[in-house]
Amino acid sequence: MGGSTRVLTLGERPDNELYQLALQVAMEPLVWPLLNKQGIELIVRRDDRIDAELCGNKFYKLFFNIQAAKNAGYTRVASFGGAYSNHLHALAAAGYRYGLSTVGLIRGEQSAHLSPTLEDARRWGMTLCFLPRALYRQQGSTGLETYVRERYGDVCLIPEGGANPEGCRGATVIGRAIEVQLEGAYQQVCMPCGTGTTLAGVAAGLPADKIAVGVSVLKGAGNLGLGIERAYCAVASSDTHGASWRLVSGYHGGGYGKKLPSNLRNFWREFELETGLQLDPVYTLKMFYAIAGLAQGRYWPRGTRLVVIHTGGLQGRRGFEAQIDW
C-alpha cells in the first residue's frame, strides 16, 4: 500500500510512542480574513496528515485499541460504521498493516456499488458484513455479539467510532502535545464531534487553564454531553486536572451523512478557495462553518489564539465532491 513512512509495531511500544508522533504534527497558522479581521488567530493542527492511510483522530483512537487487542491475543477485530465511515477505513488499514484480520459491520443493506471507502477496506482485506438497520441498532447487546461471534469466531469488538476508554486515552495525547508544541500560548482548542470521544480525551489531556470546544455534527445530540463527561472522568488524571470542555450544537447541516444544504456547499467551496485548506464534508466542514458562525456572534474576544484540530476524514470527499461545483 505504500505512502507511509512511520510504521509502528503496535503492542510493543509504550504510550510515549504515540506522544512522540503527536509532537511532530504540523501546527499551521491559517489565513482566513473572516476571523483574522476580528483579531482572532487560528492555528490548524494537521492531524489529517499524521499518517497516509490511518488518518486523523482515528489514528489516536485506534492506537490503544489495536494494542489492547494484540496484547489480549486476538487475531481478528471487528467494528461498526456506515458505508463512508472513516473509522472502518482506518481500522481496515490498521489491520492490514499490523497483521490483524478485520471485519466491518456495516449499517444497512449492501447497495449495487461499494462506496470508495468500502472499496479501500476490502482491498486491505476487511471482511464486509452488512447488517440490516434494526440489527445494527442493537450494538452493545449480547444478541448482536453472539451473531457476530457465530459468524466470525472469537473477535475483539471495538465500538463504533472507537468510542471506548482506549480510544479516549489515545485522544488525550493530542491535548498533551498541543500544550507542549505551543508552549501554552493559546486559549482554546476546537474540534468536530461525533461520539465526543476525541473531545473528552483532548480536554483531559490539556491543562486546566485551557478550554476545549467541540462542534457536534449530529442532529439531536441528546445525551452526548453525559457520555463526554463520563469518558473525560475515566481518563483524566488527578495530577493534571484537565481543561473544561464545551459542546456547540446547531451546526449539523441537516444531520450526519445527509446531502449537504446549499449554504454548506457554498461555504465549502469558498473556504477552500480562500484558505487552500481541504475539508471533509461530514466533520471538519461543519466545524469551520460553526467557527464562522460563532465568530460572527463575537464568541471569542479579540486577541484569542484558537487551535483548530483538522481531524482528517478526507477519504470521505470521494462521492461528495460531485455535490460541489468546484
Ligand X SMILES: *Cc1c(COP(=O)(O)O)cnc(C)c1O
**What is the sign of the dihedral through the CA atoms of 309, 311, 315 and 319?**
negative
- Counting contacts by CB under 6 A, is residue 56 touching ligand X? yes
Q: Exposed/middle/buried for 7, CB within 10 Å: 0-12, 13-18, 19+?
A: exposed
| Of 269, 227, 257, 250, the residue nearest 87 (C-alpha) | 257
Rounded Cα distance between 149 and 127, Å, is: 14
Among 197, 205, 279, 306, binds ligand X (CB under 6 A): 197
Rounded Cα distance between 42 and 39, Å, is: 10
User: What letter does residue 218 receive in the DSSP assignment?
Assistant: S
Contact 201, 234 (CB under 8 A): no
Question: Considering the complex, what minimum distance in angstroms separates the CB of residue 112 from ligand X?
Answer: 26
Close Cβ partners of 299 (under 8 Å, ≥ 6 residues apart): none
Q: Which stretch, 105-113, 124-132, 204-212, 279-287, contacts ligand X (CB under 6 A)? A: 279-287
Among 79, 115, 117, 311, binds ligand X (CB under 6 A): 311
* Grid coordinates of 268: 465549502
Question: Considering the complex, what minimum distance in angstroms separates the CB of residue 113 from ligand X?
Answer: 22
Pick 40 or 228: Cβ nearer ligand X: 228
Pick 171 or 306: Cβ nearer ligand X: 171
Size of the residue set binding ligand X (CB under 6 A) = 21
Q: Which amino acid is residue 120, in one-letter code?
A: D
- Counting contacts by CB under 6 A, is residue 283 touching ligand X? yes
Pick 57 or 67: Cβ nearer ligand X: 57
Among 81, 253, 281, 312, binds ligand X (CB under 6 A): 312
Give me the residues that bind ligand X (CB under 6 A), please. Answer: 56-58, 86-87, 161, 163, 192-199, 280, 283-284, 311-313
